[in-house]
Amino acid sequence: MGNIQIEVRLFAYLRELFPPESRGVKKVEVKECLTIDNLMDEIGIVEKEIMIVMINGVRKLDYNESLKEGDRVSIFPPVGGG
């Protein structure tokens, strides 16, 4: 089991979970085969099911998917407009 580097990007009020100077963006090292669901737990995101999660700009609905080296993981609370 090796480790992989990923970039986590949090938006709107989820940014409060990271230090303010990070502006919601952190490169982190995680265990290989960590799932989206595990990652959200580690960050401390509650109400996971209402969040919008994108990996490399593609919306993911299945949080059991494993993360890969270099993934850009973007997580939004329910927001919108137009």
Partner 1 sequence: MKICRIDMSTKTISFEEVKEEYVGLGGRGLTSRIISDEVDATSHPLGKNNKLVIAPGLFAGTLAPSSGRLSVGTKSPLTGGIKESNAGGTAAQSLAKLGYKAVIIENKPKNQELNLIKITPEGITIEDAGYLKMKGNYEVGNILREKHGEKVTVMSLGQAGEMRLTAASIAVTDPEGRPTRHCGRGGTGAVLGSKGIKAIVIDPGKENKVEYHNIDNFRTAARSFSKSVLAHPVSGQGLPAYGTAVLVNVLNEAGGLPTDNFRDGRFEFAENISGETMFETIEKRKGQTTHACHPGCIMRCSQVYNDKKGDYLTGGFEYETIWAFGAHCHIKDLDSIAQMDKMCDDFGVDTIDTGVAVGVAMEGGYLEFGDDKGAIKLLEEIGKGSPIGRIIGNGAAFTGQAFGTERVPVVKRQALPAYDPRSVKGQGVTYATTPMGADHTAGYAVTSNILGVGGVVDPLKKDGQVELSRNLQIATAVLDSLGFCIFVAFPILDDETAFPEVANMINSKYNTNFDINEILASGQEVLKLEKAFNQRAGITKAQDRLPEFFKEEAVGPHNVTFDFTDEELDETLEF
* Closer residue to partner 1, CB minimum distance, 2 or 80: 80
Cα distances (Å, whole numbers) of residue 67 to 2, 12, 38, 80: 12, 23, 10, 26
* Closer residue to partner 1, CB minimum distance, 28 or 55: 55
Quote the CA–CA distance of 49 and 71 in Å, as a whole number: 20
- The residues binding partner 1 (CB under 8 A) are 9, 11-13, 15, 23-24, 50, 52, 54, 56-59, 61, 72, 74, 76-82
The token pair that represents 50 in the structure block: 């209402």
* Closer residue to partner 1, CB minimum distance, 31 or 70: 70
